[in-house]
Amino acid sequence: APGGALAGNRILVTAGGTREPLDPVRYLGNRSSGKQGTALARAAAAAGGSVHLVAANVGAEVLAGLPPTVTVTEVETTAELAEACAAAQPESDVIIMSAAVSDYRAAETAAHKMKKSGDEGLRIELVQNPDILAGLVRTRAGDQLIVGFAAETGSPEAGPEQLAREKLLRKGCDLLVLNDVSAGKAFGTDTNAIVLYARDGDAVSEVLRTEGTKDEVSEKVVAGVASVLHG
Ligand code: C5P
């Protein structure tokens, strides 16, 4: 299409992984590199979208791969990510939550570097973080399209695909990208295998499945999002 599949659309993408400080030098974090999220931002911009990327602890070398048209807001913690998303939500037609968000944060952040005390172990109390995606679903305006991610390894009771379908219904977003992260796949690598699901009421359907570089996968996801957006 002239101008691209997302021409005239404003796309909010989150990337990377949040970090929760324990003290001035330590944090609780995850292995997300931000490569998938920045690839999505790149693909959405290439499709003509006006893209705002909220990047949680994404390395400068990964951010350097973005075109200059992408607006970048850098955040560290889940609270900062939540605030940036809430601020950007009213001016977004599509929200793609690809960031790996810490489910917990320290109940208290020590003001000074924690010291080792004797031979005892250490207990750190954690409190639950709010679910940003679920919050965006609650506060969304009319026809805003919200896309969640699920990084699943499967469990003894259910495979990754079943868990992803259940997550899509539970979170109430419109689309969900399943990322199979079993056996060291996905995190930090340049390739990914994904399945894109769409929700219609209580029904979940598979939109597409694909495997390839994070850029290739992102192009397909963006095309799938655009097709749902434009009906
Ligand atoms: O439940 P789970 O963490 O697997 O859900 C993943 C999806 O939810 C991702 O889209 C992630 O960005 C989002 N999420 C969130 N806030 C949290 C936890 C996850 O927005 N506290």
How confident is the model over 113-158, as pLDDT tens digits? 999 888 889 999 999 999 999 999 999 988 899 999 998 988 999 9
186 Rama class: left (phi>0) / alpha (psi -120 to 50) / beta: left
What whole-number distance in Å separates Cα of residue 32 and Cα of residue 48? 26
* Residue of 14, 132, 152, 180 with the most ligand 1 atoms within 8 Å of its CB, for mutation: 132
Could you read off the pLDDT of 193-229 as tens digits, one per residue? 999 999 999 999 999 999 999 999 999 999 999 999 9
Q: What is the ipTM of this complex?
A: 0.97
Token pair recorded at residue 164: 């992803």
Q: Cβ(132) to ligand 1 under 6 A?
A: yes
C-alpha separations of 153 from 67, 157, 159, 185 in Å: 33, 12, 8, 10
Whether the predicted pLDDT of 1 surpasses 50: no
Q: Are 100 and 82 in contact (CB under 8 A)?
A: no
**Per-chain mean pLDDT for the chain:** 94
Could you read off the pLDDT of 78-89 as tens digits, one per residue? 999 999 999 999
Q: Cβ(133) to ligand 1 under 6 A?
A: yes
Active-site amino acid positions: 30
% pLDDT > 90, the chain: 86
Which residue has its alpha carbon closest to ligand 1 atom 19?
Answer: 101
118 Rama class: left (phi>0) / alpha (psi -120 to 50) / beta: left
Q: Measured from the CA of 102, which atom of ligand 1 is nearest?
A: 21
DSSP the chain: -TT-TTTT-EEEEEEEB--EESSSS-EE-----SHHHHHHHHHHHHTT-EEEEEEES--HHHHTTS-TTSEEEEE-SHHHHHHHHHHHGGG-SEEEE-SB--SEEESS--SSPPPP-TT------EEEPP-HHHHHHHH--TT-EEEEEEEE---SS--HHHHHHHHHHHH--SEEEEEE-GGG-STTSSEEEEEEEEEETTEEEEEEEEEEEHHHHHHHHHHHHHHHHT-
